[in-house]
């Protein structure tokens, strides 16, 4: 019999019975299938831990009333229903279980792959109506076909392993996976999504929904796909333009699709739900007995660890024991996250190595936390997983990215400086960050240009030939498109005759403006960045 601790735990939503029993073995536990907000607010003050799923909002009001709260556990992946800022401010740890459903999601992908290859749902519906129309439901084999995997994180990697068992040829696109990892999975990595679309017989998506992935498969992409392609999406709604996919199916370019997630859920009005070539499910990727069991048991383990002083592997916010280190590094942590986000935008190819160098006075401390902060910012918009200070290094390891850290008491030009070089197989990109004055954040030496520029929500980087009139060209294009430039810094490489410009913008650059910029004579490259 396990030792019972003097803590009270509230399970506000239904989780697996096994998870509840684990908690009851250790703590005084009250468990409900569903709890009203009124009851939650009235009772939360007497509990040390709260367990929720997606239906209960653990917002600022709940956390403020939870005077004894030490940990909030989310039995699932997301934490959108938990106020992380308030929890962190109040010293309440928040944990989730991001790995609980990855096998279920991968297997659902395979089920959808088989369904669209063999038209199983339509054939079943026909037979239920008393029909016997075998010729109408002739399918295709998976063996020897080419599967294009867009996004090869944890779920994409599991799909690759399973698809290889069917004898499928695997190709893929993911700019943030190392060639070594791809080779291990047997996936031939291609340079662009378009390259994958032109060769694949089936496409499966495993990407988060971000500004870069929203409608990543739309009319231009369906125009170039291999005729007869079939599309599977068990990742996030909105990464496919549903209207464009419907048109591509009607035109005969796309043979069929299997869709589990939609831009709007429930998908009222989506044309895909009415098409006989499309097989749809109501967001069932994680809906298995095993996934729900794992989520319940795993979150119980997280709460037990959090209340008994163990290691909370799914911690989403951060708790650091050494106050001196925390106080010293705290100003640099959000800066490192922004630097990581900058690199996620800058890197166009696969990343095999990240070198982070800490220079100056802070190098005397344990600065591994700054590396983790950088990785969190780097992966936050490219991974389907919830990225935390705990799992960011794991994501780098799983993608085959080697992370190096170095420190030196000697800095250059600044009291403290963080310099990062990210490398692929052929090239490397360098940029740094520092704090100046009274804590003003600053990116420095961006792309090896002598550019020092403060981070902002919207930024642009432009490289151009170092000759008169080029700054004016950039300003003219941006200005005539109604975009205000809030700040601008220019640096150059005199020997190579190339210059770079960093811009702070008040509003986003559209793809059309970027195309207009790069079409100007002398402008080599332009990229838009959202921090």
Give the residue numbers annotated as catalytic, written as ranges.
236, 265, 283
User: What is the three-class DSSP state of 393?
Assistant: helix
> Would you list the DSSP string of 18-86?
HHHHHHHHHSEEEE-SB--HHHHHHHGGG-SEEEE-SSS-B-HHHHHH-TT--EEEESSS--TTB-HHH
Alpha helix segments (H runs only) across 165-228: 179-185, 193-199, 219-224
Alpha helix segments (H runs only) across 260-401: 289-308, 323-329, 332-346, 368-379, 392-398
Residues linked to residue 482 through DSSP beta bridges, in sequence order = none
Q: CB of 203 within 8 A of CB of 194?
A: no
Q: CB of 177 within 8 A of CB of 130?
A: no
- CA–CA separation, 375 vs 346, rounded Å? 14
| Phi and psi, residue 258, nearest 5° | -130, 120
CA atoms within 13 A on the CB side of 159: 34
CA atoms within 13 A on the CB side of 300: 23
CA atoms within 13 A on the CB side of 341: 21
The Cβ of residue 32 has, within 10 Å, a number of other Cβ atoms equal to 14
Considering Cα of 327, then 331, then 337, then 343, what sign does the dihedral take?
Answer: negative
| Phi and psi, residue 275, nearest 5° | -100, 130
Q: Which residues have a Cβ under 8 Å from the Cβ of 196 and sit 6 or more positions away?
A: 148, 150, 171, 172, 173, 190, 203
- CA–CA separation, 154 vs 384, rounded Å? 9
Q: CB of 285 within 8 A of CB of 274?
A: no
**Which position has the token pair 């919830």?**
386
Counts for the chain of helices (H) and strands (E), in that order:
18, 21
Polymer length in residues for the chain: 531
Structure tokens at 530: 């959202």
- CA–CA separation, 280 vs 258, rounded Å? 6
């Amino acid at each position: 019999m396990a030792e019972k601790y003097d803590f009270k735990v509230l399970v506000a939503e239904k989780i697996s019975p096994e998870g509840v029993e684990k908690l009851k073995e250790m703590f005084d536990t009250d468990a409900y299938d569903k709890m009203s907000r009124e009851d939650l607010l009235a009772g939360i003050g007497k509990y040390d831990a709260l367990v929720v799923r997606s239906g209960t909002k653990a917002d600022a009001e709940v956390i403020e009333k939870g005077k004894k709260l030490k940990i909030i556990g989310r039995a699932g992946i997301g934490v959108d229903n938990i106020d992380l800022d308030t929890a962190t401010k109040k010293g309440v740890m928040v944990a989730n279980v991001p790995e609980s459903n990855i096998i279920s999601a991968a297997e659902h992908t395979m089920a959808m792959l088989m369904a669209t290859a063999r038209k199983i749902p339509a054939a079943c519906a026909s037979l239920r109506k008393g029909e016997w129309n075998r010729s109408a439901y002739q399918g295709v084999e998976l063996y020897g076909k080419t599967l294009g995997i867009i996004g090869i994180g944890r779920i994409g990697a599991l799909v690759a392993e399973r698809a290889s068992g069917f004898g499928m040829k695997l190709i893929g696109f993911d700019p943030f996976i190392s060639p070594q990892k791809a080779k291990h999975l047997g996936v031939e990595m291609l340079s662009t999504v378009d390259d994958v679309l032109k060769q694949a017989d089936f496409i499966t998506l495993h990407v988060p929904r971000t500004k870069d992935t929203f409608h990543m498969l739309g009319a231009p992409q369906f125009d170039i796909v291999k005729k007869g392609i079939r599309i599977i999406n068990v990742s996030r709604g909105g990464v496919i333009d549903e209207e464009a996919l419907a048109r591509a199916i009607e035109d005969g370019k796309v043979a069929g699709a299997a869709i589990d997630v939609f831009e709007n859920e429930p998908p009222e009005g989506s044309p895909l739900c009415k098409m006989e070539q499309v097989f749809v499910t109501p967001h069932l990727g994680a809906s298995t007995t095993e996934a729900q069991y794992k989520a319940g048991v795993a979150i119980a383990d997280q709460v037990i660890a959090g209340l008994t002083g163990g290691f909370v592997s799914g911690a989403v916010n951060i708790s650091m024991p050494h106050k001196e280190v925390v106080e010293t590094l705290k100003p640099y942590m959000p800066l490192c996250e922004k630097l990581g986000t900058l690199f996620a935008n800058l890197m166009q190819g696969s990343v095999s190595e990240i070198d982070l160098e800490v220079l100056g006075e802070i190098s005397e401390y344990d600065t591994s936390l700054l590396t983790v902060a950088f990785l969190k910012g780097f992966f936050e918009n490219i991974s389907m997983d919830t990225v935390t200070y705990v799992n960011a290094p794991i994501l780098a390891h799983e993608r085959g990215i080697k992370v190096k850290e170095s420190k030196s008491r000697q800095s250059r030009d600044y009291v403290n400086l963080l310099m990062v070089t990210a490398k692929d197989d052929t090239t490397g990109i360098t940029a740094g960050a520092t704090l100046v004055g009274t804590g003003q954040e600053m990116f420095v030496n961006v792309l090896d240009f002598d550019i020092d520029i403060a981070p902002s929500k919207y930024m642009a980087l432009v490289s151009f030939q170092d000759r008169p009139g080029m700054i004016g060209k950039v300003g003219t294009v941006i200005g005539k498109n109604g975009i205000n430039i809030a700040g601008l810094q220019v640096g150059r490489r005199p020997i190579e005759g190339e210059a770079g410009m960093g811009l702070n913008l008040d509003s986003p650059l559209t793809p059309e403006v970027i195309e207009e910029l790069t079409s100007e004579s002398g402008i080599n490259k332009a990229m838009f960045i959202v921090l």
